[in-house]
Amino acid sequence: MWTCRGFCRYCYFRGARENPVPGCRYCSEGRVGCEKCRCEILEKHDGYKDPTLLQHHARARIAEERFIDPGRSYAINISGGGDAGCYPDLLKLVRSIGGVVPIHLGYVSGKGLTPQVARELVEAGVRIVTFTVFSTDPSLRGEWLNDPNPELSLESLRTFRWHL
């Protein structure tokens, strides 16, 4: 799971417990739990994925999809098990694939962003952002979102608003 720089007070991940691997059709006979169960069903990952691997995966997937349906328009959704804005290599990843197709940033609270990074993300190819505002009052954001820099987060929101 990606770090979100501190759980929000209302977050449904807060207090989540470790669940056993459920098993699936890809598990070896007599053995419950495989890589597919762990990574895709439980969405349990060991830290951040390397941006170069993500770039190669995205480009291969785009090429495959365009081969299957050349007339369709595509976009890439960048999201994860937490706040996409907190992914440390987000800008590097967006720069590497943003010229290929438009990019949608899934759940973003602003906690991992600055106005400058928001501008650079737009310049690199981000076209849609799902931004959880909760409140435009910095003190409420600090209290409820555990936002260490609520003013910067709100300024990042304004940057997206004016540039998208």
Note whether residue 116 is domain-resident: yes
pLDDT confidence tier of residue 29, bands split at 50, 70 and 90: confident
Q: CB under 8 Å, gap of 24 or more: what pairs does 60-64 form?
A: 62/100, 62/101
**What's the pLDDT tens digit per position in 46-55?**
667 888 998 9
What's the gap between Cα 6 and its chain centre?
Answer: 15
**What's the pLDDT tens digit per position in 62-71?**
899 889 998 8
Note whether residue 114 is domain-resident: yes
Distance CA 93, CA 78 (A): 9
pLDDT at 46: 62
Note whether residue 61 is domain-resident: yes
**What's the pLDDT tens digit per position in 5-25?**
776 766 656 666 677 777 788
| φ and ψ of 97, to 5 deg | -120, -10
Determine the angle formed by the axes of helices 90-97 and 51-68, rounding to 10 degrees.
Answer: 30
Residue range of the domain that includes 136:
48-163
- Please say if the pLDDT value at position 94 is more than 60: yes
Note whether residue 143 is domain-resident: yes
Query: Whole-structure pTM over 0.85, yes or no?
Result: no
What total number of domains does the chain contain?
A: 1
CB 117 within 8 A of CB 152: no
| φ and ψ of 29, to 5 deg | -60, 135
Residue 79: closest CA among 124, 137, 130 = 130
Note whether residue 99 is domain-resident: yes
